[in-house]
């Protein structure tokens, strides 16, 4: 359902704005079905995708294959990231914070 409802032209315009300026190594919290992937600028080298849903991750595979960035599933919970400090250049998250139970933990992780 999220894949259908969040795959609109209007939202893709917003996704393009949010992704503009990303570069280097990025962590994406709540990667979902990969709807942001087409908007990663070529300057994005890698994306550490944090996503608990196996179904969403499977749905994302075609979009992952179409981007030049290396996308790796890097965790299941944005509240507890298993990444070293200062290991990414940017964090991306769209339409996800409302689904995370402890938002303060996610902000600080």
Ligand X SMILES: C[S@@+](CC[C@H](N)C(=O)[O-])C[C@H]1O[C@@H](n2cnc3c(N)ncnc32)[C@H](O)[C@@H]1O
Give CA–CA dist 83/48, Å, rounded. Answer: 9
Give CA–CA dist 30/51, Å, rounded. Answer: 5
**Cα angle 66, 73, 67; round to 5:** 15
Which residue, 7 or 70, has its beta carbon nearer to ligand X? 7
Binding residues among 43-102 for ligand X as defined by CB under 6 A: 50-53, 56, 77-79, 94-96, 99-100
The CB-of-84 to ligand X minimum distance in angstroms stands at 19
The CB-of-66 to ligand X minimum distance in angstroms stands at 16
* Count of residues in contact with ligand X, rule CB under 6 A: 20
């Amino acid at each position: 359902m999220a894949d259908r409802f969040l795959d609109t032209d209007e939202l893709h315009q917003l996704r393009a704005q949010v992704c503009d300026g990303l570069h280097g190594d990025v962590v994406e919290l709540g990667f979902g079905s990969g709807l942001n992937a087409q908007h990663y600028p070529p300057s994005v080298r890698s994306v550490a995708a944090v996503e608990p849903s196996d179904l969403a991750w499977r749905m994302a595979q075609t979009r992952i294959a179409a981007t030049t960035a290396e996308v790796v599933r890097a965790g299941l919970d944005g509240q507890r990231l298993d990444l070293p400090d200062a290991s990414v250049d940017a964090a991306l998250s769209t339409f996800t914070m409302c689904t995370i139970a402890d938002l303060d933990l996610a902000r600080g992780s």
